[in-house]
Amino acid sequence: AQKVTQAQTEISVVEKEDVTLDCVYETRDTTYYLFWYKQPPSGELVFLIRRNSFDEQNEISGRYSWNFQKSTSSFNFTITASQVVDSAVYFCALSEAQGNNRLAFGKGNQVVVIP
């Protein structure tokens, strides 16, 4: 069974600070995909990044970076030099190749960037 845990609920940061969101997942599948989605106040879910289970290389994309560690089943996400427009709820999600790719979401992290 898929399970995603985002322990932090609300995180407040001052603009230009970095913010890291923690995500821990559970799966029995050997092939799976991890995602981060952003949900701004408008409500629409916006895809940010995806990682495959067989690729642990960590990358940076603009102000976003992620740290995927299979050994600890973690997929943490960092926003560098936060901006007010980053204020939103961020969801970590998992899909399994054998599960029709349905997404299992965590409860989300409410990020508030204070100007």
Partner 1 sequence: GAGVSQTPSNKVTEKGKYVELRCDPISGHTALYWYRQSLGQGPEFLIYFQGTGAADDSGLPNDRFFAVRPEGSVSTLKIQRTERGDSAVYLCASSLDPGGPPYNEQFFGPGTRLTVL
Residues near partner 1, by CB under 8 A: 4, 33, 37, 42-47, 50, 52, 91, 93, 95, 97, 99-108
> CB 6 → partner 1: shortest distance, Å?
8
Residue 32, H or E segment: strand 32-39
Helix (H, G, I), strand (E, B) or coil at 73: coil
Nearer Cβ to partner 1, position 73 or 99?
99
* 11: three-class secondary structure by DSSP: strand
Of 16 and 50, which has the nearer Cβ to partner 1?
50
Residue 51 or 79 with smaller CB distance to partner 1: 51
Backbone torsions φ then ψ of 64, nearest 5 degrees: -100, 140
The Cα 30–Cα 39 span in angstroms is: 28
* CB of residue 93 to partner 1, shortest distance in Å: 8
